[in-house]
A and B are shown apart, each in its own frame.
Chain A
Amino acid sequence: MQEITTPNTHHAPAAHPSVIHKMPRVHYLNANYGWRSWLFTVDHKRIGILYLVSITFYFVLGGIYATLIRLELATPQGDLLKAETYNKFFTQHGIIMVFFFLIPSIPAVLGNFLIPIMIGARDVAFPKLNLASWYIFNLGGFFMLYAVINGGVDTGWTFYTPYSSQFALGNVAPAALGIFIAGFSSILTGLNFIVTIHAMRAPGMTWFRLPLFVWALYATAIIQILGTPVIAITLAAVGLERLLHLGIFDPAYGGDPVLFQHLFWFYSHPAVYIMVLPAMGVVSELVANMTRKRIFGYTFVAFASIAIAVFGFMVWGHHMFVSGQGMYAGMIFSFLSFALSIPSAIKVFNWTATLYKGSISYDTPMLYAFGFVGLFTIGGLTGLFLAAMGLDVHVTDTYFVIAHFHYIMVGGALMAYLGGLHFWWPKLAGRMYPEGWGRLSALIVFVGFNLTFFPQFLLGYAGMPRRYHAYPEEYQVLNVMSSAGASILAVGLAFPIIYLIWSMRYGPVASANPWGAIGLEWTTSSPPPTENFDHSPVVTWEAYGFRPLEESEVVGQMTPDDRPA
């Protein structure tokens, strides 16, 4: 019974040219063929790939809107787009990127693919529900796209009432319905992960032996199941007001539009953590495995995820300092928002401390992890500016806010998603991506991103408001810099799409563990068999139990279970 595969962690550099690996004869990708085998699959790995295809489509679509927005803003005059068109484009950019790309990105793609393997299970707890959630997601996307094609929505992704419920020209109801439906796919994914992590762990896989990625997605799932139903019912209420005059937020009935903002941000602040917590989980894996060290303060990082999930529900009012909420409410929300930076800071310090005396690799995934830590820190610190009530009044609804949340969502969540995608690509596809192109793209993305969004901090502080298609001439220099950065960023993001697809056919075949990483996913073949493991794993070692690099090179192979915990 101890004949289980032990993690094979000899440090083979990625795709060493002299070593030719062989793919397993049967794996999850070639187990069956044909579109039916994909559209009716219940294999969590294939469902992860289905999500990857769907959200890549939405990412490109949202990116096209971003490109058009930045093109318009290259000149002070509103010359490329009419004001109405511009309003629709930034709205659709926001809706698509938030609800149809960022929220499903890491959980639905990497989480679906990895969680069962990381905990030593054959699948998630409810495989059919998992497939259903992909269909639900696409049904939601269908209604959202209908709204776009039918003339577009112009409310902003925040759908503030009474504009959205009574004055906006059209398509609010189908767009809201699309988000409502897609929300249920997010809820079902969260439900599936919580039950999977509780009930499906392999023998010996205790809670404190779980990879930090699993902890992070557990915390994310808490937000998905507690927050998403609230935005669902809130958007349903907006839809009912438009269609049936059941106006819960209608001032004519004594209703309060500000109540909409409370309910909206009760979800939408925690939703930021639906995007960032999984990113933090990815970065924990990258930092540990690319420095060959156990994460400094494992327990703190694990509980910081849970703390962020729980306390993230108590700070939504920092979006409403100028919306007419009470002074004292504002002060409490401000204080709690400052307090919430503590668990995030714990993580940043622990990742940094992990680097100390680590054998740091500078392969593509680690470059993205470095990018994440730096950009997330800038995004987080500027978030404190916004949590300060006085300063927030000055920068409310300016480009300062835009820059802040793009540092979190793009600089943080997207960077980590790309890093994770590269890191686990050999497991997903069975082949390596081209490392040179990977590093080059990571560099271009980093430069392009900063050039796009750093000038927006300055623009916002100087007073340029968001959501206008024209602006006074004195803002042009910084806007041109931002637009130039956006074009660089677009190039950096297009490269991975091209070379990852290329590598599926032409990339060098990956070994089971090309990074010398630790984790159950690296003990099975690349790509894994449909049931994930040939022999079921029994876990007897702690998470991230690395030997020093020199030692593992001498021994050649390392079994983490033979070293003291």
Chain B
Amino acid sequence: MSAEVIGNHRVNHPDGHDRAESALAHHFENLEQQREAGTLGMWVFLVTEIMFFGGLFMAYIVYRTWYPAAFAEASHHLDVRLGGVNTVVLIVSSLTMALAVYSIQVGARRSTMIYLALTLALGLVFLGIKFIEYKHKFEDGLIPGAGFKFEGPYYADAQMFFTLYFTMTGLHALHMIIGVGILLVLIALVWRGKFSPEYHAPVELSGLYWHFVDIIWMFLFPLLYLVGTHLS
């Protein structure tokens, strides 16, 4: 910790009254420490998220290794085009999110709003397409359970594929929905001028979360949609 931190700390609450200073919570010494804590906290949270998804990825690895042919067969029932479009949608949304973070760093409030709104729209497009895909699976009788319909020798193991498909993409979609909620809050806060080049940690940290959710999809797409295409 630097010397000036020792110098001005804790006599009482900081007396700066501009907007950036008022964002300082009472238990931190200065904005620098607060930003450090927030960033580390978000990274630690993302580590827990990796472990959370990790259990499902583990199950996927085990069953994919045991039933490669059934997984390839079942994977053909997924719509690669819709999945591919969604992949592009998410990559672009990561770009707009990164631009939103950049804009708030340089204090461009209007473009921050635009980029956040674009990210929000792309997130909703993703969820819409995902909903259409789920609907198709439902109509095709590909929901695991008593009503499951699947031609060929892989009836049992294909159910495992779709169990994993719904669990993993469902958990991912849940994270997308939370992300959409976060974006709505951010847009409201930017609208009210809560952030500045000095204080914009919530935008940055939400950006980290958004990129993380996108990266999860970057793993889900090939693992679920592109299994065994070389076989056909």
Contact = CB atoms under 8 A, between A and B. Distances in A.
B26 interface: yes
B44 A254 contact: no
A245 B167 contact: no
Contacts of B215: none
A529 interface: no
Contact of B51 (A226, A244, A247): A226
Given A203-B6, A247-B163, A253 B157 contact: yes
Contacts of B166: 246
Nearest to B44: A191
A127 B40 CA distance: 15
Contacts of B63: 254-256
B59 A259 contact: yes
A191 B41 contact: yes
27 contacts: A122-B26, A127-B27, A191-B44, A191-B48, A194-B44, A195-B37, A195-B40, A195-B41, A199-B33, A199-B40, A200-B33, A225-B44, A226-B51, A230-B51, A233-B52, A233-B54, A234-B55, A237-B55, A237-B56, A246-B163, A246-B166, A252-B156, A254-B156, A256-B62, A262-B58, A535-B10, A536-B10
A198 interface: yes
B55 to A, nearest CB: 4
Interface residues of B, number: 42
Nearest to B45: A191
A228 B48 contact: yes
Interface string B53-90: 11110110011001100100000000000000000000
Contacts of B9: 203, 536
A531 B55 CA distance: 41
Interface of A is mostly: helix
Contacts of B55: 229-230, 233-234, 237, 263
A126 B41 contact: yes
Contact of A121 (B27, B44, B167): B27
Interface string B12-54: 0000000000000111000001001100110011011101111
A203 B1 contact: yes
Contacts of A535: 10
A226 B37 contact: no
Nearest to A184: B48
A263 B156 CA distance: 23
B144 interface: yes
Interface in A260-276: 262-263
Residue picked from B6, B36, B45, B51, most chain A C-beta under 10 Å: B51
Contacts of B25: 127
Nearest to B58: A263
Nearest to A191: B44
Interface string A288-312: 0000000000000000000000000
B160 A229 contact: no
Given A121-B27, A233-B52, A233-B56, A1 B40 contact: no
Contacts of A245: 144-146
A232 interface: yes
B62 to A, nearest CB: 6
B96 interface: no
Given A127-B27, A194-B40, A245-B144, A259 B62 contact: yes
A240 interface: yes
B154 to A, nearest CB: 9
Nearest to B36: A199
A104 interface: no
B37 A538 contact: no
B156 A227 contact: no
